[in-house]
Structure 1
Amino acid sequence: MSAGRGGARGPHDELTWAVAGVIVAALTLFSLAMLGGSLASLLTGHGFTHPPYALSTLMGLTISDPAAYWPSTPAWAVYTGMTAPLLLLTALVAVVTAALRRRDTTPGLAGRRELAGMCPDGITDRARSLRPTLKGRDRLDADETGNLLGDLMPNGPELRSSFEDVELDLMAPRAGKSTGIAIPRVLRAQGAVVLTSNKSDVYAVTRAQRENAGTVWTFDPQGIAHTPRGMWWNMLGECHTIEGARRLAGHFVASVNDDASKKDFWISAAQNTLTALFLAAARGGAAVQDLLAWLADPADRTPIDLLRDTGLDAMAEQLQGTVRGAVETRDGIYETARQTVSCLLDPEILAWVAPDPDLPEFRPDRHVAGRDTLYLLSKDGGGSAAGVIAGLADATLRAGVVAAERMGGRLDPPLTAVLDEAANVCRISDLPDLYSHFGSRGINVVTLLQSYRQGARVWGEAGMDALWSAATVKLLGAGLDDADFVQKISTLVGQHDVRTPSISRSRDGTSRSYSYRQEAVLPPDKIRALPKGTALLLATGVRPALIRLRPWFKEADVGVISAAAKAEEAAITQRAVAKLGGGTPVVEAMSADKE
């Protein structure tokens, strides 16, 4: 008869193994004690003598004085000799246990050997080949070699991505996106930084440290951090070409369109109209206020004339055709266009994108060549400045591409772009297409999303698939509740062989055999239940691995950073109180709300 897995061993079998284990343990201890006493006798000059290896000796050593069995040897030597082998055995067991614990606890996942290219030695060699400025230096700081991802579970080592990797991170709110990814990436960045966010937490923790590296530019048109306006960006400066004007128009359209792959007639026509108006304003030297006036009055021929004056006759004819079309169609197109740029009707937002001779102008081309930091902050929902934020982020990334081409193909030091809340405040419509070559230019982009579906709502299923495929490093953290997506991830992680025992009993005796079956390395329920602060690492060319994130507040220099963060939080609160006329502000409790 064959016993299954659940009942392979009965009470009799368990008792048999327990008795055998006790006997083996007793004999092992007895043998070590005998060996220790005999060695003590030898080392003290009394020869290698030992009592009989018998049960009576075992009982005697247990209930009487062991030194009596080596009468010519000092008692202290006997006790020391008997204890030493036991201590050595204990140490050996501890070493073996530690070595086993350092192995992967989940069979089927990548270990140190497979991730050697992301471990300290491997990533250092990779950095020297990617960054010419590191050649000839004997010792490198760890942050100069790559971007910290976390520690391989269960016991390390730390893993880093190279400076030509681009990253996509998916995890739910409060799973560690800010504390374990965004903040450490900004603090450790070697070159220029671009950060987008709808909260002030990353800004508050990192601003003081980034001031030590270079100039800090804070673009905060909606008062997320309540920072006074200290800069301006010439939004129309990116629109002197048809490509630049169309890209900026696309950012405004994407800020109100939930799926870039599903543009209806009104959305597409509004983007074409905005492209023509942006181009006319940039080429004709008009201000953003003039552009808003043209949108309010479709009959105004000024943009058409400006396009013709600059030799863009085809664009002028197209705009004129829209204006002269059916009134209902024209009004629908212009109303849609007005809605996409409605945030510019807010004078506080408009002031950030209009020339101001009293404040410095932010120049993306200069920013990417240094070690400065640009914080792009915007609220979600209606009235947000997401279109402006996406436009400035895109202009900076494209400036990085141009700078890389001038430097021989790759920025050194690399540009770090952390697109936190990218689906809400930084909807760059063709981001999936740009991802494929950012890494080769030395532009390290990290896109942070709450779920796969959130990205699909912005870029469409095809766009999100392209973004997923283009990302060379992907981190999947806690709280992924999309059953279909988690099932796909479980399939990608793969399966492993599990040995199953089978016991057969008959009149002739008992026999044991083994069979193998395949199980998922990480079933969907385990992926969904990943603990906070951990993530599943999917890197190109290696098996998946589990890592532990390294939040900024657990690093060695947390004291200095924490003090600066508290001071910045207090300053944000004070500015909020002043803006509200002394009332009680609603501020983000960042210290108590660590993601």
Structure 2
Amino acid sequence: MTAAGRRSPTSAEDLLPWSIVVVAALSLLGFSTIWLGGSLGAAMAGAGWNPPPFSLSSVVTLINKGPGALWPNAPEGAVIGGITGLLCVLFVLIALVLFMFDGTLISGRSSKGLAGRKELASLTPKEAANRARQLRPSLKGVEPLHPDDTGNLLGDLEPNGPELRSSYEDVELDLMAPRAGKSTGIAVPRVLRARGAVLLTSNKSDVYSVTRAERAKAGRVWTFDPQGIAHTPQEMWWDMLAEASTIEGARRLAGHFVGAINDDASKRDFWISAAQNTLTAMFHAANRGKASVTDVLAWLADPADRTPVDLLRDADMGALADQLQGTIRGAVETRDGIYETTRQCVACLLDPKIAAWVMADPDLAQFRPDEHVLAADTLYLLSKDGGGSAAGVIAGIADATMRAGVVAAERMGGRLDPPMTAVLDEAANVCRISDLPDLYSHFGSRGINVVTLLQSYRQGSRVWGEAGMDALWSAATIKLLGAGLDDADFVEKVSRLVGEHDVSTLSYSRSKDGSSRSTSYRLERVLPPDRIRALPKGTALLLATGVRPALIRLRPWYKEPNASRIQGAAADEVRAITARAAQEWTGA
């Protein structure tokens, strides 16, 4: 017996018999279509129903003399028109059949090994509606439910739907490269579709310009823009020091300013920790003594100033006063180092344009987080990243608003109804809430739907550390991974999470006794790292708790039915921003 041979089942020799069958079938189908289309075209032109013989001779005549020879009594244009029309109908029917039986042939993406419609039943519209009725008492007896009352639209399951919605109890983490659809496919739709209060952070004005006019119809719009991202005039102020009424609140507020200059919350040296302690004491002293932000800056400018110590003693906060006094009386080199680090943490408040947004102004409306979370109002928090950024202030007001939502939820029996939507776009740059990973799952159980948008896993690790980012990843019940993820280690981990599936391999063996064919199976990655990295723009890999990963197609706001109206309002807003920017420039 000769040695058995093995070759690919797709070799030219194996495909030759099938190719002959396919060519013959296509030739027969093509001639049938021409025969019927030409006969119909001739009949419609008034030549009557006189089809040529359905035979090989007609095929030869068609090839040699053209369609006019088969239908001599009909106008040649009518015959060609009938053939063309029927061919178009045939192509459409073939495309529909392919789409119905295997839409991946149309989309060019295979869905083998990924979750399908049945596995994602809990995210489909019907189940989303049932879940929403359980979570939101206000929906009891409401028929029919508006889709946006049932949950957040994630996108459409590839290749042909249905749409998928997460629960308002879910919290979400989205990782996508720039210009991969974060704003158009996630941030803007979430803001536009929100049913309750909205909080948005960003370092650009694009989401603001698209959504402001629509959100103004739902409730009041608050724009916190201390660095002129959208060039909006100041029409509000927030009492930042009100958050320092307790030592815990003062420490959280101090932590936001420290986090704005510290890249890794898990790695704080002596100076950073000492600066947070000092800032905690001064914020609490200012709150208890009815002092202002400018007073705090003055205390930091003069380490010998005992005013904050005296205010703490007057408020019976002796231990905190002693700690601050110990810092003041310490070695000059150590004291000056601590104070200089503290001054760097609050350096953004040295800009009077930024400080004005967190100081009382009787001529402007005061933003109150506890009132905001109970309304359908919208809070836009805009700040630049990098040097001079107001990130500490932005993180402070965002944290205060979400914690006010937790308090309101507890008073309402456990959850906010309607839920609050918090879209933390550019969270690693302008909204560094140091314990966000720990708060994530807690927010979800309170009806505060938090969506954190990052450019990469590594970007989050720089802010919260590896352990913090791992905690954030684990706490997120919905994760969307979009185009442009270039971190090789992270993409490899995701590929392993997606898992493997069986792939069949056809083997042929030949010997003097004949040939045989056998099928074997091997495990192969459902999505190798290179395919995850090359996800097309507008698509995302969905990782939902308790469900196999799925590939979804995002739904950009500009493709929705009401897009033309929103585009018009957005264009008006962009013109207004441009005009304000030009006015500021000429005024300067």
Distance 1:226 1:472 in 2: 36
Q: CA deviation at 1:15?
A: 2.9
Distance 1:560 1:370 in 2: 25
Distance 1:5 1:318 in 2: 79
Q: CA deviation at 1:29?
A: 12
Provide Cα deviations, 1:542-588, integer angstroms capped at 9, x if missing partner.
Answer: 000111111111111111100000000000000001101169xxxxx
Match of 1:246 in 2: 251
Distance 2:409 2:10 in 1: 67
Cα 1:141–1:10 change in 2 (3 A) is closer
Is this contact kept in 2: 1:171–1:177, CA < 8 A?
A: yes
Distance 2:285 2:56 in 1: 103
Which secondary structure does the structure 1 equivalent of 2:237 belong to?
coil
Which secondary structure does the structure 2 equivalent of 1:358 belong to?
coil
Match of 2:504 in 1: 499
Is this contact kept in 1: 2:237–2:366, CA < 8 A?
A: yes
Q: CA deviation at 1:380?
A: 0.8
1:301 equivalenced with 2:302 (yes/no): no
Distance 1:97 1:481 in 2: 33
The count of residues paired between Structure 1 and Structure 2 equals: 539
Provide Cα deviations, 1:46-72, integer angstroms capped at 9, x if missing partner.
Answer: xxxxxxxxxxx98799899xxxxxxxx
Cα 1:3–1:366 change in 2 (3 A) is farther
Q: CA deviation at 1:313?
A: 0.4
Match of 1:16 in 2: 17
Q: CA deviation at 1:143?
A: 0.7
Match of 2:491 in 1: 486
Is this contact kept in 1: 2:4–2:511, CA < 8 A?
A: no
1:324 equivalenced with 2:329 (yes/no): yes
Which secondary structure does the structure 2 equivalent of 1:292 belong to?
helix
Distance 1:582 1:283 in 2: 40
Provide Cα deviations, 1:408-431, integer angstroms capped at 9, x if missing partner.
Answer: 000000000000000000000000
Is this contact kept in 1: 2:212–2:221, CA < 8 A?
A: yes
Provide Cα deviations, 1:102-152, integer angstroms capped at 9, x if missing partner.
Answer: 478321000100001111111111111111111111201111111011111
Is this contact kept in 1: 2:157–2:164, CA < 8 A?
A: yes
Match of 1:142 in 2: 147
Is this contact kept in 2: 1:193–1:415, CA < 8 A?
A: yes
In terms of mean alpha carbon deviation, does 194-203 or 137-146 score higher? 137-146
Is this contact kept in 1: 2:31–2:59, CA < 8 A?
A: no
Distance 1:190 1:2 in 2: 68
Match of 2:527 in 1: 522
Which of these residues, 235, 238, 247, is aligned with residue 240 of structure 2? Answer: 235
Distance 2:277 2:260 in 1: 16
The correspondence of residues 349-428 of structure 1 with structure 2, limited to 5 A, is 349-428=354-433
Cα 1:283–1:488 change in 2 (3 A) is same
Structure 2 segments unaligned to the other structure (5+ residues): 33-53, 62-86
Distance 1:94 1:198 in 2: 44
Cα 1:295–1:61 change in 2 (3 A) is same
Is this contact kept in 2: 1:5–1:500, CA < 8 A?
A: no
Is this contact kept in 2: 1:270–1:334, CA < 8 A?
A: yes
Provide Cα deviations, 1:457-496, integer angstroms capped at 9, x if missing partner.
Answer: 0000000000000000000011100000000000000000
Structure 1 segments unaligned to the other structure (5+ residues): 32-56, 65-85, 584-595
The letter for the 2-side match of 1:387 is G
Distance 2:16 2:441 in 1: 62
Distance 1:160 1:151 in 2: 9
TM-score (norm 1): 0.86
Distance 2:582 2:88 in 1: 65
Distance 2:554 2:392 in 1: 32
Cα 1:237–1:502 change in 2 (3 A) is same
1:288 equivalenced with 2:289 (yes/no): no
Which of these residues, 199, 202, 207, is aligned with residue 197 of structure 1? Answer: 202
Match of 2:338 in 1: 333
Match of 1:456 in 2: 461
**Pairwise CA RMSD:** 2.5
In terms of mean alpha carbon deviation, does 135-144 or 438-447 score higher? 135-144
Q: CA deviation at 1:436?
A: 1.7
1:569 equivalenced with 2:570 (yes/no): no
The letter for the 2-side match of 1:292 is L
Distance 1:90 1:352 in 2: 63
Is this contact kept in 2: 1:30–1:58, CA < 8 A?
A: no
Provide Cα deviations, 1:268-320, integer angstroms capped at 9, x if missing partner.
Answer: 00000000000000011111111111111111111111101111000001111
Distance 2:24 2:560 in 1: 49
Is this contact kept in 1: 2:129–2:150, CA < 8 A?
A: yes
Match of 2:100 in 1: 99
In terms of mean alpha carbon deviation, does 13-22 or 224-233 score higher? 13-22
Is this contact kept in 1: 2:185–2:538, CA < 8 A?
A: yes
The correspondence of residues 141-290 of structure 1 with structure 2, limited to 5 A, is 141-290=146-295
Which secondary structure does the structure 2 equivalent of 1:159 belong to?
strand
Is this contact kept in 2: 1:477–1:530, CA < 8 A?
A: yes
Q: CA deviation at 1:2?
A: 3.7
Is this contact kept in 2: 1:214–1:373, CA < 8 A?
A: yes
In terms of mean alpha carbon deviation, does 401-410 or 21-30 score higher? 21-30
Distance 2:351 2:235 in 1: 18
Match of 1:551 in 2: 556
Distance 2:112 2:427 in 1: 35
Is this contact kept in 2: 1:2–1:502, CA < 8 A?
A: no
1:120 equivalenced with 2:125 (yes/no): yes
Q: CA deviation at 1:10?
A: 5.2
Which secondary structure does the structure 1 equivalent of 2:316 belong to?
coil
TM-score (norm 2): 0.87
**Aligned-residue identity in percent:** 72
The letter for the 2-side match of 1:139 is P
Match of 1:108 in 2: 113
Which secondary structure does the structure 1 equivalent of 2:470 belong to?
helix
Match of 2:68 in 1: none
Match of 1:83 in 2: none
